[in-house]
Amino acid sequence: MSQKILVALDGSAGGKRALEAAVKHAKLTDSELILSYIIDWTPYSFHTPEELEERHQRRESEIQRANESVLEPESRALKGSGLSIQTVVRHGKIADTLVDIASEFNVSQIYLGRLGESRLHSMVFGSVTSALLQNSKVPVTVVP
């Protein structure tokens, strides 16, 4: 059974660097890649029925945009690499959702790019990277 590597993509240069590093690792270890895009989303809000319908439509639109603008182009670019690739778009708290995906797909490693947040911003608002490092059950590689 081959290993699986989860790559968190967000359309940024950091995400592209994380993908490049994960591709090198996958080729060396004959691993499958799972490309993911997490749409930061909280279910804890009170809405009218009209707002809920609009939110559902917006959610579907965001999934389509994530697939079309981030995951599908990266997946197509890797088509000739010989690697097995899956894509996953989810809504939720980013770090928690990545942990859930890692568990669901039984991945052995997670790759993500480091965002250039200031130390003060991270202290006040927290950091996806910090939360993922604290909660992940598998190794996490943070690519600068």
% of residues, the chain, pLDDT over 70? 86
What's the CA gap between 88 and 8, in Å, rounded? 10
State the CATH number of the domain containing residue 111.
Answer: 3.40.50.620
Mean pLDDT of the chain: 86
Q: Which of 82, 132, 143 is nearest to 103 (CA)?
A: 132
> pLDDT category, 124, cuts 50, 70, 90?
very low
- Give the total number of structural domains in the chain: 1
Look at residue 47 in the predicted model and tell me its pLDDT.
65
Question: pTM here?
Answer: 0.85
Domain that holds residue 107: 4-143
Compute CA 104 distance to the chain's CA centroid, rounded to the nearest angstrom: 14
The residue among 127 and 103 whose pLDDT is bigger is 103
Residues in the chain: 144
Strands (E), 9-72: 32-40
pLDDT > 50? residue 118: no
Residue 93 has pLDDT above 50, yes or no: yes
Q: Are strands 32-40 and 85-92 parallel, antiparallel or unpaired?
A: parallel
Tokens of residue 29, six digits = 């270890």
Does residue 80 surpass a pLDDT of 60? Answer: yes
23-27, 51-55, 119-123: least confident range:
119-123
- 121, pLDDT greater than 90: no
pLDDT (0 to 100) of residue 96: 94
Q: Residue range 73-99: average pLDDT?
A: 93
Pure H helices in 31-81: 49-66, 72-77
